[in-house]
Copies of this chain bind each other. A is one copy, B any other.
Amino acid sequence: MRETQLIQKIREMSNTGGGSLMLGIGDDAAILRPDSRQDLVFTSDLLLEDRHFTRQTYSPAEIGHKALARSLSDLAAMGAEPVFCLVSLAIPADLAASWLTRFYKGLLALAAKYNCALAGGDLARFEKIIVDVMCCGRVPRGKALLRSTAKPGDSIYVTGKLGKDWRRNRRPEPRIEAGIALRRLGVRAAMDLSDGLSLDLPRMCLESQVSAEISADLSEQALHGGEDYELLFTASRKIPGRIAGLPITKIGLMTAGHPGRVLFQGRPLEPRGFDHFATSD
């Protein structure tokens, strides 16, 4: 099958999303007509075979779902509503055209749920499956949630349940509705938990130039497990116990100590989450 035919097939499967996308798949680039009352947010995430998944444990549809979910989770962390995505995909020559169809079905089912148009991307042959998904979202001007705006005295919260077993959670749900609700509630800072609380909370503290104290009694898995795709956020006032159908748990407090330091049970918390770049040397 030739590239032109494949692109035509993907184009036929694709949704066109909201009204702001003027041109999707088929030209050198997609065209968006922006609304100046809104800011646009952009993120990209790689999903690599034998690093983030294996072909034995993930179906093509699950790979498509997960590749998009990772990027959508970043939009959720900004309190953004999805607009469109670009999908760059490389696959081995031994995968049949039906593999591609099933991959895009999984990706497009999730995209449709959040009204995210598939606007383009790239296709190539490679010896392993490589997916990079870029997502664009929109927020009212100046209202994006940041990780750099937490203040000493803020309470720290998480959505949902931490420490999920991601081997059983092959279709993680991006917390888009919760992110939008948090933005409307006016919370102070937010980020998504992709690498584990013990790595991600220090990152938020460093960006915000604050310390944190975890007061909740959290399991090892809740502290260090990666790929939770829940939202971590801080607020200066009381937050409802449930937001967008998810339980909200207060886990601690931002403090004025050494930027980036996190205390758990009175001791510095050792970062043991998933650092994509940690080397043994």
Question: Which residues of B lie under 8 Å from residue A39 when comparing CB positions?
Answer: 22, 31-34
- Check: A41 CB closer than 8 A to any chain B CB: yes
Q: A98 on the interface (CB 8 Å rule)? A: no
- Given A39-B32, A42-B29, A144-B31, is A123 in contact with B279 using a C-beta cutoff of 8 Å? no
Residues of B within 8 A of A222 (CB): none
Map CB proximity to B onto A191-203 as digits: 1 under 8 Å, 0 otherwise: 1100000000001
Which residues from chain B contact A34 at a C-beta distance below 8 Å? 34-36, 38-40
Q: Which chain B residues border A192 with CB–CB below 8 Å?
A: 28
- Roughly how many angstroms separate A199 CA and B241 CA in the complex, as a whole number? 58
Stretch at the interface among A57-65, A70-78, A101-109, A247-255: A70-78
Q: Are A123 and B277 in contact (CB under 8 A)?
A: yes
A146 to B22, CA, bound (A): 12
Contact A28 B125 (CB under 8 A): no
Min CB distance A174 to B, Å, is 12
A194 CB to closest chain B CB, in angstroms? 9
Could you tell me the distance between the alpha carbons of A3 and B134 in the complex, rounded to whole angstroms?
20
Write out the residue numbers on chain B whose beta carbons fall within 8 Å of the beta carbon of A77: 28-29
B residues near A26, Cβ cutoff 8 Å? 148, 207
A264 to chain B, nearest CB (A): 19
Which are the 6 A-B pairs with shortest beta-carbon distances? A34-B34, A36-B36, A132-B132, A29-B43, A3-B277, A28-B77
Interface 9-mer from A86-94, A164-172, A209-217: A86-94
By a CB distance below 8 angstroms, the chain B residues around A121 are 44
Q: Is A124 an interface residue (CB 8 A)?
A: yes
Q: What residues of B have a CB within 8 angstroms of the CB of A225 in the complex?
A: none
Chain B proximity of A124: nearest CB distance (Å): 5
Contact A90 B46 (CB under 8 A): yes
- Tell me whether B45 and A30 are in contact (CB under 8 A): no
Q: How far is the CA of A75 from the CA of B30 in the complex (A)?
A: 10
* Chain B CB within 8 A of A270 CB: no
Q: Nearest CB to that of A122 among chain B residues?
A: B46
Interface string of A8-48 (1 = CB under 8 A from B): 00000000000000110011111111111011111111101
- The docked-state distance in angstroms from the alpha carbon of A33 to that of B78 is 14
CB of A99 within 8 A of chain B?
no
**Is A41 a contact of B31 with CB atoms below 8 Å?**
yes
Measured between alpha carbons, how far is A168 from B33 in the docked complex, in Å?
39
Contact B86 A134 (CB under 8 A): yes
**What separation, in Å, do the CA atoms of A232 and B75 have in the docked complex?**
36
CB distance from A141 to the nearest CB of B (A): 7
